[in-house]
Amino acid sequence: MKMVAPWTRFYSNSCCLCCHVRTGTILLGVWYLIINAVVLLILLSALADPDQYHFSSSELGGDFEFMDDANMCIAIAISLLMILICAMATYGAYKQRAAWIIPFFCYQIFDFALNTLVAVTVLVYPNSIQEYIRQLPPNFPYRDDIMSVNPTCLVLIILLFISIILTFKESNSNHISTGQPRVILKSIWVGIH
């Protein structure tokens, strides 16, 4: 029998916040469930009372509708799908069924790639941030304060913020993927054949 140091065993089975991979996945799934449930409630309240969240074309500075019923229904469908995916991840981690975690892991990879693309866009086209802020409605909170910030400093602040988000997302997707990689790969292999 090989002796293993306690800290080696701890680091191999822990993720951020120093909890076990399974516990971290359950906490992350519940956190995403809560966030998506709040988003769904906001969308449903906006659908029930459209005047509360409606911006006129003069406020938006263009000739387009900000959020019509079709876009609202698509956003509600996406929110419901995310609730289902998060519930599957939480259930899969709780019952130790790795195949149930795969959709959430795929979402994490897609989200990480999309955020990386945003960071690259900010780096390549730094003037697009100022242009985007100019297009915001005049009554947008802190719009004038943000416009007064030096463009280079604004790019650095946004890149720092995106880097923090990417680091957090990478550590979360990494602890999900390192939880039981053999079981996940085996369940994918069994599902294919």
In a domain, 7, yes or no: no
Q: What is the mean pLDDT of the chain?
A: 75
Question: Which amino acid belongs to residue 141?
Answer: P
Mean pLDDT of 86-95: 92
pLDDT value at residue 182: 44
pLDDT value at residue 120: 84
Number of domains in the chain: 1
Q: State which residues form the domain around 59.
A: 15-192
Count CA atoms closer than 13 A to 99's CA, side-chain side. 7
Q: In sequence order, which residues have a C-beta less than 8 Å from that of residue 58 and are 6 or more positions away?
A: none
CA distances from 87 to 26, 69, 76, 99, 180 (A): 9, 27, 16, 13, 19
DSSP letter, residue 66: S
DSSP letter, residue 52: G
Q: Give residue 186's pLDDT band: very low, low, confident or very high (50, 70, 90).
A: very low
In a domain, 6, yes or no: no
Confirm whether pTM is higher than 0.75: no
In a domain, 1, yes or no: no
Q: In sequence order, which residues have a C-beta less than 8 Å from that of residue 74 and are 6 or more positions away?
A: none
Q: Which residue has the tokens 């769904």?
A: 40
Q: Give residue 180's pLDDT band: very low, low, confident or very high (50, 70, 90).
A: very low
Strand, coil or helix: 35: helix
Q: In sequence order, which residues have a C-beta less than 8 Å from that of residue 159 and are 6 or more positions away?
A: 119, 122, 123
